[in-house]
Amino acid sequence: MNRVYVCNCFGVTEDQVKKHADDGACTPRQIASACKAGTDCGSCVRRIQALLGRGACSRRDLVEQGRPALTADPSAVVRLSGAA
């Protein structure tokens, strides 16, 4: 079996990312919630985005699934860090 690792920090393979995508993960953040890929050094986030493809889930699909969709309104962005 040939394993292609996407996230070396957590040992996550392409097949695992694809399985999480098949199970409904549409964004790198949702992949991170499922398997931690992309949450350490972050070097795999672009590869995860490529595996998910552009527009893997539309904003409407995310809302219909009860998942947060990104907003285009910058005033609605919640800052996670303490910086202003």
pLDDT digits (tens, 9 = 90+) for 10-57: 999 999 999 999 998 999 999 999 999 999 999 999 999 999 986 556
Whose tokens are 């219909």? That residue is: 64
| pLDDT of res. 37 | 97
| pLDDT of res. 30 | 94
**Residues facing residue 7 across a β-bridge:** 12
| pLDDT of res. 78 | 42
| pLDDT of res. 3 | 87
Contact 48, 6 (CB under 8 A): yes
Q: How many CB atoms lie within 10 A of CB 44?
A: 24
Question: Model-level pTM?
Answer: 0.65
| pLDDT of res. 2 | 73
